[in-house]
């Protein structure tokens, strides 16, 4: 009977974004973003692109990126993506390694300012298809 | 692309833009048939290639549009997608066919219906395999970050941004194709619903439906068709967005700056010679940034250019004379082709009620395309048109 037919087991959806990009140690030590330096031309990239868009090199070494940066600009979003709770805040964070990160910001709307210091944190960025939060990198005001 | 021989626009068509019950194919067909008749083309097999820009409406969109015009089976039809640049890219490809001598007559169409298909109350989003999209990136957010930085560096206010909506809707007052027309006050714009600070509802292009179409041909064919006011294509440039993961100035726009440089060089037209300009005013901040990116004024002078009235009637260059996306809404696959159609009508002096005076001789258009992490935009398409008679 059709009812007895077992549904195909679905792979559980992602709950952590993304082990290649973010290390969140279980021992409680501070999380960090993973940059990738091309062994051929020395270009440091985040996120990892393979091959290296500058020289097509295919070998990289992982480099932990600075946890603090400057908030270049930001947006308090009141009408967002389908399925996302609003308001939420996004911003561009410039790291000392000359890398710009796009991330959600932890905090209240109408409180952020351009060029203020922010630091890395982790937290839910959205729900996955199974209704569970996806944990990823975020930034918050630096202490 | 250097045009290898002269190419002329001989027929254009556009639909009324707004929340339309007709799907993209009916809209595209309406615009295409208008352009075909405008070009005095009498048989479907005269059109030797056709390109159709669309972003969200599915597969074989071009063939669906052209089937009822009797072109399927006679004309190679190619579908083009690059988000907001799609319609202009379709026209570019038609121009390229004629310029290289592959065809004598070709056409480009842009058509889109969003309202029959989109979830209301949500924002346009890059594809979900994009790292910024996963983290909540939306187009309104991207432009609001530009606006926030612009306010921080330049001392601009929301009221300054609102002036762009007021201006563009005023330009559209008597344009029957536009969705939003006529008087709106700065206060109404500023006090409309907040979408992504500082972009309020009336500073964002509406979600709307529509289509535009453009027929191009060789010089010889202009005579054969008996076209009295052919518009010459002085330049047509498509670029892809440079990738970078480092800090960059978002009060500029590298892809627009690069494409503009190429277009000026290709066309031999300088920024001070451009009489009218339709640009990607999807959000007020965009138009403000692009004055500088397109060298209508110097770096740092965009705000003054706006406040001095240089981008409206009587100014240096009338920007968004049809009303722009802020008046038409922005069916993303359609806008690029519709801008070109509107510019052609301005050059011919056919825009009763919203005609720019004196009748312009040089018209430029610009659409970027797509949110893609690491780029300002995935694509940019620009055209320079000049009076050809």
pLDDT in tens, B149-169: 999 999 999 999 999 999 999
Residues of A in contact with B131 (CB under 8 A): 47, 102
Q: In the annotation, is B84 catalytic?
A: yes
| Shortest alpha-carbon distance between residue B165 and chain A (Å) | 20
Q: Of B72, B84, B293, B380, which one is the catalytic site residue? A: B84
Digit-coded pLDDT (tens) for B72-92:
999 999 999 999 999 999 999
Give the residue among A113, A125, A120, A121 at the shortest CA–CA distance from A72: A113
Average pLDDT over residues B311-326: 98
In this complex, the residue of B123, B145, B195 whose CB is nearest that of residue A74 is B145
Say which DSSP state B250 is in. Answer: T
User: B167 near B322, Cβ under 8 Å?
Assistant: no
Digit-coded pLDDT (tens) for A9-20:
778 888 888 889
Of the residues B138, B240, B376, the best mutation for testing chain A's interface (the one with the most A CB atoms within 10 Å of its CB) is B138
Do B145 and A80 count as a contact with CB atoms less than 8 A apart?
Answer: no
pLDDT above 90 (res B123):
no
What local confidence, expressed as pLDDT, does residue A86 receive?
Answer: 94
Q: Which residue of A has its CA nearest to B127?
A: A81
B216 vs B117, which has greater pLDDT?
Answer: B216
What local confidence, expressed as pLDDT, does residue A28 receive?
Answer: 84
Digit-coded pLDDT (tens) for A116-127:
999 999 999 998
Q: Which residue of B has its CA nearest to A17?
A: B134
Average pLDDT over residues B82-106: 97
Residues of B in contact with A80 (CB under 8 A): 122-123, 136, 138
User: Which string of b and e fits B127-158 if b means at least 16 CB within 10 Å?
Assistant: eeebbbbbbbbbbbbbbbbbbbbbbeeeebeb
Tell whether A75 lies on the interface with B, counting CB pairs under 8 A: yes
Tell whether A43 lies on the interface with B, counting CB pairs under 8 A: no
Radius of gyration of chain B (CA): 19
Give the residue among B100, B84, B73 at the shortest CA–CA distance from B5: B100
Binned at pLDDT 50, 70 and 90, residue A4 comes out as low
Please give the C-alpha separations between residue B49 and each of B22, B74, B87, B102, in angstroms, as whole numbers.
Answer: 25, 9, 15, 9
pLDDT above 70 (res A5):
no
Distance CA B324, CA B308 (A): 20
Binned at pLDDT 50, 70 and 90, residue A8 comes out as low
Tell me which H or E stretch contains A38. strand A32-38
Contacts of A108 (CB under 8 A, 6+ apart): none
Q: Which residue of A has its CA nearest to B194?
A: A78
Global confidence as pTM: 0.95
Digit-coded pLDDT (tens) for A76-125:
999 998 888 999 999 999 999 999 999 999 999 999 999 999 999 999 99
Q: Using CA of residue B238, residue B241, residue B242, residue B248, what is the dihedral sign? A: positive
pLDDT above 70 (res B337):
yes
| Shortest alpha-carbon distance between residue B329 and chain A (Å) | 17
Binned at pLDDT 50, 70 and 90, residue A6 comes out as low
- Quickly list H helices, chain A: none
User: B51 near B238, Cβ under 8 Å?
Assistant: no
Distance CA B389, CA B387 (A): 6
Q: Which residue of A has its CA nearest to B124?
A: A81
| Shortest alpha-carbon distance between residue B83 and chain A (Å) | 17
| Shortest alpha-carbon distance between residue A90 and chain B (Å) | 7
Q: What is the mean pLDDT of chain B?
A: 96
In this complex, the residue of A77, A94, A126 whose CB is nearest that of residue B247 is A94
Residues of B in contact with A45 (CB under 8 A): 245
pLDDT above 90 (res B126):
no
Residues of B in contact with A114 (CB under 8 A): 148-149, 152
In this complex, the residue of A81, A91, A134 whose CB is nearest that of residue B138 is A81
Phi (first) and psi of residue A12, to 5 degrees:
-65, 145
Assembly ipTM: 0.93
Do B138 and A80 count as a contact with CB atoms less than 8 A apart?
Answer: yes
Q: Which residue of A has its CA nearest to B120?
A: A82
Average pLDDT over residues B102-106: 98
Average pLDDT over residues B200-221: 97
Digit-coded pLDDT (tens) for A19-29:
899 998 888 89
Residues of B in contact with A120 (CB under 8 A): none
Binned at pLDDT 50, 70 and 90, residue B214 comes out as very high
Digit-coded pLDDT (tens) for B339-366:
999 999 999 999 999 999 999 999 999 9
Tell whether B136 lies on the interface with A, counting CB pairs under 8 A: yes
Tell the residue number behind the tokens 């007559």, with chain if given.
B105
Tell whether A84 lies on the interface with B, counting CB pairs under 8 A: yes
Do B373 and A102 count as a contact with CB atoms less than 8 A apart?
Answer: yes
Binned at pLDDT 50, 70 and 90, residue A1 comes out as very low
Average pLDDT over residues A43-47: 95
pLDDT above 50 (res A59):
yes
């Amino acid at each position: 009977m059709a009812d007895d037919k077992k549904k195909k087991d679905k792979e559980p959806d992602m709950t952590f974004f993304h082990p290649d990009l973010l290390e969140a140690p279980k021992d409680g030590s501070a999380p960090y973003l993973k940059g990738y330096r091309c062994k051929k031309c020395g270009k440091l990239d985040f996120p990892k692109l393979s091959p290296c868009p500058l020289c097509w090199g295919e070998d990289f070494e992982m480099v932990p990126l600075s946890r603090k940066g400057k908030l270049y600009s930001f947006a308090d979003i009141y009408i967002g993506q389908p399925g996302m709770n609003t308001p939420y805040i996004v911003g561009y964070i410039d790291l000392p390694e000359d890398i710009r990160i796009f991330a959600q910001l932890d905090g209240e709307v109408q409180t952020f300012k351009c060029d203020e210091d922010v630091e890395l944190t982790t937290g839910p960025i959205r729900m996955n298809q199974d209704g569970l939060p996806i944990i990823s990198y975020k930034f918050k005001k630096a202490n | 692309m250097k045009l290898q021989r002269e190419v002329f626009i001989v027929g254009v068509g556009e639909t009324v833009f707004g929340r339309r019950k007709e799907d993209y194919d009916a809209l595209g067909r309406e615009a295409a048939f208008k352009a075909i008749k405008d070009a005095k083309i009498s048989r479907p097999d005269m059109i030797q290639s056709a390109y159709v820009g669309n972003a969200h409406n599915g597969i074989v969109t071009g063939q669906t549009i052209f089937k009822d015009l009797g072109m399927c089976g006679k004309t190679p039809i190619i579908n083009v997608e690059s988000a907001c640049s799609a319609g202009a890219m379709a026209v570019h490809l038609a121009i390229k066919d004629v310029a290289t001598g592959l065809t004598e007559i070709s056409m480009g169409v842009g058509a889109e219906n969003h309202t029959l298909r989109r979830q209301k109350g949500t924002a346009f989003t890059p594809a979900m395999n994009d790292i910024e999209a996963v983290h909540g990136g939306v187009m309104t957010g991207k432009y609001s970050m530009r606006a926030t930085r612009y306010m921080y560096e330049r001392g601009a206010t929301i009221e300054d941004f609102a002036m762009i909506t007021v201006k563009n809707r005023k330009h559209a007052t008597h344009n029957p194709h536009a969705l939003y027309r006529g008087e709106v006050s700065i206060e109404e714009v500023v006090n409309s619903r907040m979408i992504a600070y500082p972009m309020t509802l009336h500073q964002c292009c509406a979600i709307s439906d529509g289509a535009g179409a453009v027929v191009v041909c060789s010089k010889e064919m202009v005579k054969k068709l008996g076209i009295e006011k052919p518009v010459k294509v002085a330049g047509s440039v498509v670029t892809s967005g440079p990738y970078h993961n480092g800090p960059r100035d978002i009060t500029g726009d590298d892809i627009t700056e690069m494409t503009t440089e190429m277009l000026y060089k290709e066309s031999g037209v300088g920024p001070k010679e451009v009489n009218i300009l339709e640009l990607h005013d999807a959000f007020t901040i965009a138009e403000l940034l692009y004055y500088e990116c397109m060298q209508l004024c110097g770096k740092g002078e965009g705000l003054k250019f706006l406040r001095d009235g240089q981008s409206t009637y009587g100014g240096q260059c009338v920007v968004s004379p049809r009303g722009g996306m802020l008046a038409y809404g922005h069916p993303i696959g359609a806008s690029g082709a519709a801008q070109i159609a509107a510019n052609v009508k301005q050059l011919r002096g056919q825009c009763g009620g919203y005609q720019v005076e004196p009748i312009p001789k040089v018209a430029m258009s610009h659409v970027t395309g797509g949110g893609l992490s690491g780029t300002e935009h995935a694509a940019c398409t620009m055209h320079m048109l000049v009076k050809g008679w």
